[in-house]
Every structure is written in C-alpha cells, then in structure tokens.
Amino acid sequence: MRVAVVGSGVSGLVAAGELHREHEVTVFERNDYLGGHARTHLVDDRRTGRTLALDTGFLVFNEPNYPLFSRMLDRLGVTSQAADMSFGVRCARCGVEYSSRGLRGLFARPQQALSPAFHRMAVDIVRFNRWARVRRRRLGAMSVADLRRARLFGDGLFRHYLLPMGAAIWSAAAADIGRLPLRFLVDFFHNHGLLQIAGHPPWRTVVGGSRRYVEALVRPFADGVRLRSPVRAVRRRPDGVTVRTDAAGAESFDRVVMATHTDQALALLEDADETERRALAALPYRRNAVVLHTDARQLPRAASARAAWNYRTADCRNGSAAVGITYCLNRLQRLDTDTAYCVTLNPPDGAAAIEPSAVIARLSYSHPIYAPEGLAGRRALAAINGRRRTAYCGAWLGNGFHEDGVRAGLEAARTVREAREVA
C-alpha cells in the first residue's frame, strides 16, 4: 500500500518506522526539520569552545513511565543520562519563592520560615498527597477547581503548588488546570511518584539532544521524507485518499495517518464528518511563545531557589494568564559550562523582559488543553480510528507526552495493518 503520514512528530515518525517495512510510506512535514517538539539547537559555547546540543521542546523521560519510548531508545542505540527534575515557584504578589531542592530550597526566602501561610501550604501538600492516594479511584467528575471550592485544603496549596505544578507539566494556564478532571491530574501524579515526598522515578535526558533519536528513527525511511512540504488538503474516497501539496499537487494514497495536532487535522480534512469534527474540535490547543537564551535574570535570584523547572507568576490571582516557566538546561541536560542556558515559555515584558543580546532563538510550540469535553472527544475519536482509510495519532491521545506519542504511533500503524488485512 501507499501510505501518507502527515506530520513528523514522535507519533508520525513511529508510525512511519513501523509501516515502511511493508508499505511505501511518504512523510509530509511542513517545517524544515523533523521531530515536532523534539527539536535540538546546536550552539557554540564561548566559555568552553564546545558545541552544545540544546533541546527546546521534549527534554526528559523516565523508564518506569516511558517503557515504550525507553525500549525504542535501546533498540535505536541512543544513550541517555540522569537529569535534574527539581521544581520551583515564584509569586511576585505574595512574595513566595521556593524550590524542591531540600530545606534550603524550601526556605529560599528566610522569612518563609516564619510565615504561617507558607507552613500551611507545606503541610497541605503532605495532606493532599495522602488524601489523593486514598480517594484516587473515587473522585467521579470532580474537577481541580471543584476541590478548591470544597475548602478541604488551604488556598495556598492551589495558588502556589497544585496549579503551578499542573501548569508546568501541561504548559497550560492555571485556569486550564482548574478545569482538569481531578482524576486525570491525580492519576498522573500517582503514576509519576508525585503523591509522595520521596521515591520519585529517576528522570533522564537524551545524550546529544533529542535529535539523536529522531535521526536514528528516520534513517531507514529517509528517502520517503519530504521537508518543507505543507499539506493543504486531505480528501478520502471509497478507493483511496487524495493528499494535496503545493509542490506535487494532488497525489493518491491507499491510507493516510494524520499525525498532527487536532486543530491542524480538522483544518486539513476537506470531508470531515460530524463525528470527526466534534471529536477534533473538542481538544483545542494553546500556542506558547518559547525563547532559548542565556539571560540568567529569568531564573530565581536566590541560588537555592533555582530549579530545573522554574514557574513564575506576577499575580497568582490571575489564573487566565499564559503559563510562565523557565527551564534551566544546565540542570536538565547536565551542561558543563558556567553560561546559563535557559528555555522560557511566555517570557515577561517590560523591565523583566529577556535581554535581546541573550536571545539564541525565538520559537513557538502549541500544547493541548485538557478539559472534560476534550477527554470525551478523544475517546470518540479513538472509537473510529481507522475508519474512512484514516488513522489518527498524536501524544494528545494520551497525557500529551512522548510515551503517549509512541503508543499512538504504534496504534496507528496497527490500525493501518489491520485495515489492509480486512481489505
């Protein structure tokens, strides 16, 4: 069969890697690089004279929660190393600043040791973890915001821990995290060891950047990859699929794998039916501005407060503001240099803006916004996956992470194979 794969994120590449052994596969990618959020920038470090591989999207994984991705790296011969996954929060309005780096990080501002509100938050973190472990399977349709309104815990738990943590994990605004089904968040926390103070799974990062696995994965089917080839339209027929691009016009395929974001898939499908439209529209995306830079002012001032993930907010009452996070690549990727390399999502304006001379690259990434209707739409789409000669895949079919992307790519390949057998 001739199979078109639209999109080259981890899901699309995994699907293509599985299918190319038996079928003629063509991968269409609108950008000038492969990998989607797995994007590595090569930067010459002046202080060491070495070239550093800096990741700006996908950064970390752990073996217990990423078994499919971990096995893929092993199969490809791609090595990884331990990563620091400490987390920090800074709220300018409340004067709260702390990190998960031990007692010095927790009390990065000495006055917090005397703050009853801060002590209440710390105690409530332990209480919430215990409560969530016991109630995990009995949360029903409760949202994170519902739990906040129930006043079982102090509001500081939500403003300075739970919402910032969720916002950092899913690159979403605090208000979006409030709409999450509580079971969705608690299950993720439970599976990743976040409902306990110790015993977290060890996190890892790809040596040489995520480009290493992308290059190794693509190598066997590189001849079928078309970069800078945005698909303009996809139309299904009883006997095939038409994919239209500017360069090649209309081309015919037997099957299509839509390995794109939901909004992109909906825009490309000229003949989407009602089920597809409802399901794809139910899971929207939010675009986040991303800057790779060397401006250390984006990190907390106190050294003990500096973490691998640094969440910041000017006012924790403004839940609709875009998430603000600075990733310290020196910690995440174990960079051996005194230069601070950072990735900042939605950088601040005004006096706190990133120094222009420190900017290495300006990018943008879009992330799914999970809400009850989106999760329902996701289930509806999974139920029709493979129908009308179309397989859908993407990390959005799971929790939005690389393991989910690998799983979705494998499932899309299986769907195409089974459709062939039925035909």
Q: For residue 26, what is the DSSP state?
A: E
Contacts of 53 (CB under 8 A, 6+ apart): 40, 41, 42, 208, 209, 211, 333
Contacts of 333 (CB under 8 A, 6+ apart): 53, 54, 55, 59, 83, 205, 209
Contacts of 398 (CB under 8 A, 6+ apart): 404, 405, 407, 408
Measured CA to CA, the distance from residue 113 to residue 107 in angstroms comes to: 6
Residue ranges of domains in the chain: 2-39+210-282+370-422, 81-204+285-368
Confidence of residue 178 (pLDDT cuts 50, 70, 90): very high
Question: Is 2-39+210-282+370-422's fold the same as 81-204+285-368's?
Answer: no
Whole-prediction pTM value?
A: 0.93
Could you read off the pLDDT of 181-212 as tens digits, one per residue? 999 999 999 988 899 887 789 999 999 999 99
Quick one: how far is CA 232 from the chain centroid?
A: 26
Q: Residue 421: pLDDT above 70? A: no
Residue 344, both tokens:
């900042």
Q: Residue 351: pLDDT above 90? A: no
Average pLDDT value for residue range 339-352: 93
Q: Residue 396: pLDDT above 70? A: yes
Other C-beta atoms closer than 10 Å to the C-beta of 393 total 30
Q: What percent of the chain has pLDDT over 90?
A: 84
337, 48 Cβ separation under 8 angstroms: yes
CATH number of the domain located at residue range(s) 2-39+210-282+370-422 in this protein: 3.50.50.60
Confidence of residue 380 (pLDDT cuts 50, 70, 90): confident
Contacts of 125 (CB under 8 A, 6+ apart): 157, 161
Measured CA to CA, the distance from residue 418 to residue 231 in angstroms comes to: 25
Residue type present at position 140: G
Average pLDDT value for residue range 102-110: 90
**What CATH fold (topology level) applies to the domain 81-204+285-368?**
Polyamine Oxidase; Chain A, domain 2 (3.90.660)
Residue type present at position 332: L
The pLDDT assigned to 420 comes to: 61
Task: Name the β-bridge partners of 4.
Answer: 26, 256
How many angstroms separate the Cα of 316 from the Cα of each of 158, 161, 164, 175?
9, 11, 9, 11
The pLDDT assigned to 376 comes to: 82
261, 368 Cβ separation under 8 angstroms: yes
Q: For the chain, what is the mean pLDDT? A: 94
* Burial label, 17 (beta-carbon count in 10 A; 0-12, 13-18, 19+): buried
Q: Residue 268: pLDDT above 80? A: yes
Other C-beta atoms closer than 10 Å to the C-beta of 411 total 21
